[in-house]
Chain A
Amino acid sequence: MRSNLYVLGDSLKNYERFTKTFFSLSKPIIFQAGECIVSMGDYFSGFYLIRSGLVEVRYTNENGQTKILQLHNGPFVIGASCIDNHQNMLDYNCLTPVEAAYMPKEKFQQWDFEMLLDFSKIQTDKVRILNQQIQDAQNYSNEQRVLRILWEYALTIHTTQMVPLHIDGLKKQTIADLLSITNVQLSSILRRLEKKGYLLSHSEKQGITILKLYSESETTYGT
């Protein structure tokens, strides 16, 4: 089974030592829902380790077209661009209150070999996920990808994978922006999934109930 591509849970679960050392070199910081951690075009002054909260990663082009690349609903780290002083390419917007830890870039000099090795693995994970997301867009239908996003989101908020799974707090606009489709197209896809028995209901207020998951035997989803 592949790892999550669109809604990422705990990206640091295999890096306990890294997380511990990071906290010892950083100070806590709280962001309110609606705040932007770092904006597109800004330079990172250090690293942020997001401990909890829902964060969207959004890109907007010169014509105002916008796309959400990922949602993070669990620990992750950003700010590697402060090492080589590159402009940040994305907006990191808090959709809920977010608990984070901030480490100024000067502290990077104090990272030991293990810490650097872990961080290079974390960056490699990011490359792998982006690579798979590109391939996903080429290989799978929007219908398959909508169900995939719902399922990934459910996995970040539920401890069980047993259906039915109920999810709320995920706006239709967010799903549409993740896939670069319109709200109308999304509604039509959700209706089709409901007819096929994958979803029980879908409404902004009551949330979405997933009745059935895509399994690799049923579809070609998953590589």
Chain B
Amino acid sequence: MEHNYSHFSLDIGLADNEAFVLAFLQFSKVRSYKPGSFIYRQGIPFQHFYLILEGLAEIYHMNQKGIKKSVSIVGHGNLMGMSSLDNFEHHDTVQCKTHVLAAIMPRENITLWSREMLVTLICVQTNKSRHLLQQLICAHTESAASRIARLLLEMTANSYRYFTSLDIPSQVTFSKQEIAELVGVTRERVQQILHEMERSGAIHLDKRAIIYYPNRLLQYVDC
């Protein structure tokens, strides 16, 4: 079986689909967001489609008790807001982690789309379902260490399959709390696992920065 999908950074394949991106741009406006600003917020009705052209943003959900749960990190090529077609409210909030450049299209412009664009949209949604299925399955079968290793690997490459060299170290900046929320374990457990990884030489902790060696970290990925 070939399901090596990324879980935490939802690379859904539009990054390479230049024809779709160019067509989407015809019907949309490009907007720049500063780090920390919101692309959309939970509870507000969907009005637009959003295509991220550059930068990273965090998707999170706030439950009724006001507890924040990170869902994923999205970047270049991610299309969001499809629920606008059904007049749904935003179920999550999307907040920029870096500067973000996004193309924003009013939902009614979908009537101007070509057949090819709609087929691409169906493929995007189908691909998203596969990502989510894999995430759901792995939540039950994958170890916490594997989920953390996958998160770190996916943050610097859209998917760890795309690393050009697995021997060159890479770096991500994450707090233990952020990792805990994304992988669904306690902060203490994250700390314990990161120290185990550091002892094995897979990572090096430098304050909030985590320097890691992809080939060594891959040994922890078990799903």
Q: Which residues of A contact B (CB under 8 A)?
A: 40-41, 59, 61, 63, 65, 67, 69, 80-81, 83-84, 86-87, 89-90, 113, 116-117, 119-121, 123-128, 130-135, 137-139, 180, 220, 223
A123 CA to B86 CA in the complex, in Å?
A: 12
A54 CA to B126 CA in the complex, in Å?
A: 23
Q: Is the CB of A123 within 8 A of B122?
A: yes
CB distance from B184 to the nearest CB of A (A): 6
Q: Is the CB of B1 within 8 A of A127?
A: no
A123 CA to B36 CA in the complex, in Å?
A: 31
- Say yes or no: A119-B122 contact (C-beta < 8 A), given A59-B133, A134-B136: yes
The 9 closest A-B pairs by CB, nearest first: A123-B125, A130-B132, A116-B118, A80-B126, A180-B140, A124-B82, A120-B121, A127-B128, A120-B122
CB distance from B7 to the nearest CB of A (A): 10
Q: Is the CB of A116 within 8 A of B125?
A: no
- Say yes or no: A124-B85 contact (C-beta < 8 A), given A131-B71, A220-B65, A223-B63: yes
Q: Is the CB of A123 within 8 A of B1?
A: no
A123 CA to B1 CA in the complex, in Å?
A: 22
Q: Is the CB of B126 within 8 A of A223?
A: no
B126 in complex: contacting residue of A83, A121, A135, A180, CB < 8 Å = A83
Most buried by A among B61, B71, B88, B184: B61
A117 in complex: contacting residue of B2, B118, B132, CB < 8 Å = B118
Is the C-beta of B215 less than 8 angstroms from some C-beta in chain A?
no
B132 in complex: contacting residue of A61, A131, A220, A223, CB < 8 Å = A131
A137 CA to B184 CA in the complex, in Å?
A: 10
Q: Is the CB of A120 within 8 A of B140?
A: no
Is the C-beta of B23 less than 8 angstroms from some C-beta in chain A?
no
- Say yes or no: A138-B122 contact (C-beta < 8 A), given A41-B1, A113-B115, A124-B85: no
Within 8 A of A (CB), among B81-110: 82-83, 85-86, 88, 91-92, 110
Q: Is the CB of A135 within 8 A of B61?
A: yes
When distances are taken between beta carbons in the complex, the residues of chain B under 8 Å from A80 are 122-123, 125-126, 129
Is the C-beta of B141 less than 8 angstroms from some C-beta in chain A?
yes
Q: Nearest chain-A residue to B122 (Cβ)?
A: A120
A120 in complex: contacting residue of B1, B82, B132, CB < 8 Å = B82
- Say yes or no: A67-B122 contact (C-beta < 8 A), given A40-B1, A120-B82, A130-B132: no
For B, the interface residue count at a CB cutoff of 8 angstroms equals 40
When distances are taken between beta carbons in the complex, the residues of chain B under 8 Å from A138 are 69, 184
B135-166 vs A: 1/0 string, CB under 8 Å? Answer: 11101110000000000000000000000000
When distances are taken between beta carbons in the complex, the residues of chain B under 8 Å from A113 are 115, 118
CB distance from B136 to the nearest CB of A (A): 6
Q: Is the CB of A89 within 8 A of B133?
A: yes
The tally of CB-CB contacts under 8 A between chains A and B is: 111
B136 in complex: contacting residue of A83, A130, A220, CB < 8 Å = A130
Q: Is the CB of B86 within 8 A of A83?
A: no
Q: List 14 A-B contacts (CB under 8 A).
A: A59-B133, A63-B141, A80-B123, A89-B1, A90-B133, A113-B118, A117-B110, A120-B82, A121-B85, A123-B129, A130-B132, A132-B91, A134-B136, A220-B65
When distances are taken between beta carbons in the complex, the residues of chain A under 8 Å from B136 are 69, 130, 133-134, 137
- Say yes or no: A61-B137 contact (C-beta < 8 A), given A40-B1, A119-B122: yes
Q: Is the CB of A126 within 8 A of B129?
A: yes
When distances are taken between beta carbons in the complex, the residues of chain B under 8 Å from A126 are 125, 129
Is the C-beta of B208 less than 8 angstroms from some C-beta in chain A?
no
Q: Is the CB of A81 within 8 A of B126?
A: yes
CB distance from A117 to the nearest CB of B (A): 6
A61 CA to B136 CA in the complex, in Å?
A: 12
A26 CA to B63 CA in the complex, in Å?
A: 43
When distances are taken between beta carbons in the complex, the residues of chain A under 8 Å from B86 are 121, 124-125
Q: Is the CB of B135 within 8 A of A65?
A: no
Q: Is the CB of B91 within 8 A of A128?
A: yes
CB distance from B195 to the nearest CB of A (A): 25
Q: Is the CB of B139 within 8 A of A137?
A: yes
Is the C-beta of B3 less than 8 angstroms from some C-beta in chain A?
yes
CB distance from A81 to the nearest CB of B (A): 6
